[in-house]
Amino acid sequence: MSEPIRLEFPPRDARAELQTRLKSAPLQHAEALLSGYDLLQRLHDRGVLDLLRGGLGSSDQVLSIVVDAAKTPEAINATRNLMILGKVVFMLEPKLLEDIVTAVPNSLTQAREQKPLSLWQLFKKMCSQDTRRASSAILGIVESFGKSLGSGAAAQLHPAESDLTEIESAAKPAGRDL
C-alpha cells in the first residue's frame, strides 16, 4: 500500500516577515518618506511640534480652560446664535443665496463705476416691481425685529392702538383740570 505524502509547512514567523517589509520599505516608499521628513522638519522649525508636545503634557489643564471658557454666557450665546444662523442658512434656497451673493458685488461694482443716480432715476428704481418686492421683504424682517424689541403689552397692540392709547392718557389729566 502507498503511504500518504506528508505536507508540512515551516512555521510562519510574523516578526521575520515584518522585518523584511520594514527593510524594503525605505526603497519602496522613498519619496513618501522624504516628504514626511520634510513635513516634520517644517513643523519642528515653526514650533508646532513643541506646541503639540506641551499641549499633550498639560491636556488636563487645557481641557479645563476650554470648558471654563465654554461655560461663560458669551460663549453660550455665541453657540446659540451660530445654531440659529445655521438654521437660517439651511432654510434658504440655494438659488436665492446664490443670487444674493452675485448681486452684492455686481451692485457695488456698478455703484463705483457709475455716477450717482438723479432723484428722478432713484424714484423710478423705487417704483419698479423688483425693488418693491425686496423692500417688502426687508420691511417684514424689520417689523419682526421691532416686535421682538418691544415690551410685552406694547408689542401686542397695533401701532394705531398704541398711538390712540397715548392720546387718551394725555387727554384725561387735561380734562380733570377744566
Q: For the segment 131-150, what is each residue's pLDDT rounded down to a tens digit?
A: 999 999 999 989 998 998 88
Query: What pLDDT is attached to residue 159?
Result: 53
First to last CA, the chain: 140
- Report pTM: 0.41
What b/e string do you get for 109-129 counting C-beta neighbours within 10 Å, with b at 16 or more?
eeeeeeeeeeeeeeeeeeeee
Tell me: pLDDT of 62 over 70: yes
> Would residue 160 count as lying in a domain?
no
d(CA 115, CA 121): 12
Answer yes or no: do 100 and 118 share one domain: no
Question: Per residue in 97-133, pLDDT tens?
Answer: 898 889 999 888 888 888 888 899 989 989 999 999 9
Q: What is the mean pLDDT of residues 52-68?
A: 86
> Would residue 143 count as lying in a domain?
yes
Asked if 47 and 54 touch (Cβ cutoff 8 Å), the reply is: no
> Would residue 90 count as lying in a domain?
yes
> Would residue 16 count as lying in a domain?
no
> Where residue 176 falls among pLDDT bands split at 50, 70, 90?
very low
Which of 72, 106, 140 corresponds to the end of one domain?
Answer: 106
> Which residues are CB-contacts of 44 (< 8 A; sequence separation ≥ 6)?
50
Answer yes or no: do 129 and 94 share one domain: no
What b/e string do you get for 93-102 counting C-beta neighbours within 10 Å, with b at 16 or more?
eeeeeeeeee
Query: Using H for helix, E for strand and C for coil, what is the string for 15-65?
Result: HHHHHHHHHHHHHHCHHHHHHHHHHHHHHHHHCHHHHHHHHHHCHHHHHHH
Answer yes or no: do 120 and 138 share one domain: yes
Q: What is the mean pLDDT of residues 42-60?
A: 89
Residues spanned by the domain of 140: 114-149
Query: What pLDDT is attached to residue 171?
Result: 47
d(CA 139, CA 127): 16
Domain count, the chain: 2
Query: What pLDDT is attached to residue 169?
Result: 54
d(CA 82, CA 85): 5
